[in-house]
Amino acid sequence: MSVFLNKNTKVLVQGITGTQASFHTQKMVAYGTKIVAGVSPNRGGTKHLGVDVYNSTIEAVKATKATASVMFVPARFVKDAIKEAVEAELETVVVIASGVPIKDMMEIKAMLKGSKTLLIGPNTPGIITPDEACLGIFPENIHKKGNIGVVSRSSTLTYEAVIETTRAGMGQSTVIGLGDDMIVGTDFVEIIKKFHEDNNTKAILMIGRQGGMYEETGAEYYAGLKYKKPIIGYIAGSTISTQDKMGYAGDIITRGKITTESKKETLQKAGIMVADSINRIHQLLENLK
């Protein structure tokens, strides 16, 4: 099993004819991802990289029965592209663009509520199920099939976390980057839930960071579970003084009361093992053996 994505998932690329989309689409196809169509306004009826291109997501889904998409569109167009994805009832959408306007994200969150669509991102490397399929911009060669589910709020540290599982002699079931922007489509709660439902995931690696309360809500959900898979957590920013003003909206709202140390304490109280540094994660993983 896997979470959200496997070798049989039919995938659209929204904005497929762009330079970056073209480059990464070729890499995704080479990795084994089942790209069945692309979407690009005014390009409908043509082919690009060997796949049919449609004018709208709804047309593409109707023709191909796709259930997921990866979106390579500029930040200012993301809201409209997600509206199409929601109306087409896609199950999973990955948004690569960074800096989607806050107002747009608030409207997007309202669109997603009650819909069939789960949004990963924006500003994310995406999702990868090793040796099966990839939606996004991962360096595929560092991944290895295994039983550790990885979820991260830091794109760069997502790759570091993957490397740590390899150092421990383990691999990954699915790797998910939640996104680096202030407001993202989904959270740790949803991903922890999905990893607990996945028989192939035996333990979870959760990478958080300063700012916001995503980690706290994830820890609260985990603490309330009757059956728990082991979770190893790491909070980025440990070396930064809690007196430094980071400028995160979450810290402004909470008047600086939420710090790296308080996040670590919250995770520990919930029963999550916390690594003091990123390069100690593999030791905690080895202990799980």
Q: Which domains does the chain have, with CATH numbers?
A: 10-120 (3.40.50.720), 144-288 (3.40.50.261)
Burial category of 90 from C-beta neighbours within 10 Å (exposed 0-12, middle 13-18, buried 19 and up): buried
CA angle 175, 180, 184 (to 5 degrees): 85
Q: Please determine, for residue 191, whether its predicted confidence score (pLDDT) is greater than 90.
A: yes
Chain segment 162-172, per-residue pLDDT in tens: 999 999 999 99
Other CB atoms within a 10 A radius of the CB of residue 76 amount to 12
Q: Please determine, for residue 254, whether its predicted confidence score (pLDDT) is greater than 70.
A: no
Q: Taking residues 28-43, what's their average pLDDT?
A: 97
State CA 17 to chain mean position distance: 23
Residue 181: predicted pLDDT? 94
Using only C-alpha atoms, the chain has a radius of gyration, in whole angstroms, of 19
Cβ-Cβ contacts under 8 Å for 259 (sequence gap 6 or more): 210, 242
Dist. CA 35–CA 101, nearest whole Å? 29
What is the band of 211 on the pLDDT scale with cuts at 50, 70, 90?
confident
Q: Please determine, for residue 241, whether its predicted confidence score (pLDDT) is greater than 50.
A: no
What is the band of 257 on the pLDDT scale with cuts at 50, 70, 90?
low
| CA dist 230 → 90, 98, 104 (Å) | 31, 32, 36
Q: What is the pTM of this model?
A: 0.93
What is the band of 1 on the pLDDT scale with cuts at 50, 70, 90?
low
Dist. CA 44–CA 59, nearest whole Å? 9
Cβ-Cβ contacts under 8 Å for 41 (sequence gap 6 or more): 55, 56
Is the bond preceding 230 in cis, omega lying within 30 degrees of 0?
A: no
